[in-house]
Homo-oligomer: A and B are copies of this chain.
Amino acid sequence: MKTPTKETLLEMYRVMLLARRLDERAWVLHRQGKIAFHISGIGHEAAQVGAAFALERGKDWFVPYYRDLAMLLALGLTPLEFALGLLGKKGEPSSGARQMPSHWSLRRANVVSHSSPVGTQTPHASGIGLAIKMRGDSAVVLTSIGEGSTSQGEWYEGVNWAAIHRLPVIFLVENNVYAISVRQEQQMAVATVAEKASGLGLPGVTVDGLDALAVFDVVSEAADRARRGDGPTLVETRVHRLTPHSSDDDDRSYRPREEVEAMKAGDPLSAFEQRLKQSKVLSSEKQASLEEEIGKTVADAIQAAEAAPYPEVSEASYPVYVEDIRRG
């Protein structure tokens, strides 16, 4: 069972901090009327970074969902690339600005394109797992989803495939208890999403998603199991959605402010920061310099993206078919 080195711990922290600052900046841009839409990962960063670092980045495959900014940054998405997506600018790597922001795809990092309809990605991950098994490769595939979306038949059918064929898939559930305004109790009659695994015949684990290292351990174990040929694992991370669902949402109508304030007390970023400081991995100086460096990175990325052109209108007509693909 591997444990992250000091360097890895610092890198995990850096990615979480970068994700947080980029995300906060996106909210500001929205308030300024510079972007039309943002969907936030604030509160989910520890789960995403813990999971990503537990896998072999560059080799393993990922089928994420819209909250996974921190995961994508861990996989190599650059701040500029994210910013281009926010603004719908040319060169945005996931879709050439065809999709809404945070609809991820990054071929160079084995990150598969996902759509908006929730749950559709789950069978894709099982299909990738089936292909890995058929080819005798040693990669694993991780797919993430919110707890509400596990109500979809697509999720059930996708997980069932992996369980039957013991495919190398990790089903990561980021459970923030809300699906927009609908609470978990209205989505399922079980107390934890992990319990759903027992009905599908695969191991299910619930882990504190505010604790990056706890998630790192559980996902490392799931990856080992998958590589051993022992099949898939359902990993439920309990996280907090510290923002409204998206920039289109106003959550005051359905959740009390006190609840949100209480959650903020358990902010996964500061928790990880405290922990690294206590274990002397992170000094206050280092932390300050990281903040500064990241502040600059974010500012530069936004500036460059604002300066970037929109796609030419001519780009909109392709590629409908593979025959129409144009590079560059």
- Chain A residues in the interface with B (C-beta under 8 A): 151-154, 156-157, 160, 163-164, 166, 185-190, 195-202
A153 and B198 alpha carbons, distance in the complex (Å)? 17
- Using Cβ atoms and an 8 Å threshold, which residues of chain B touch A200? 188-190, 196, 199
A105 and B189 alpha carbons, distance in the complex (Å)? 31
Complex A-B: 17 CB contacts under 8 Å: A151-B157, A151-B160, A152-B153, A152-B157, A153-B153, A160-B188, A160-B189, A163-B189, A164-B188, A166-B189, A190-B199, A195-B198, A195-B199, A195-B201, A196-B200, A198-B198, A199-B200
Known: A156-B153, A160-B189. A199 touches B196 (CB 8 A): yes
Interface of A is mostly: helix
A170 to chain B, nearest CB (A): 16
**Option from B152, B160, B164, B189 in Cβ contact (under 8 Å) with A201:** B189
A152 and B163 alpha carbons, distance in the complex (Å)? 15
- Using Cβ atoms and an 8 Å threshold, which residues of chain B touch A164? 185-189
A202 and B190 alpha carbons, distance in the complex (Å)? 9
A201 and B188 alpha carbons, distance in the complex (Å)? 8
**Option from B157, B163, B201 in Cβ contact (under 8 Å) with A153:** B157
- Using Cβ atoms and an 8 Å threshold, which residues of chain B touch A156? 153, 156-157
- Using Cβ atoms and an 8 Å threshold, which residues of chain B touch A152? 153, 157
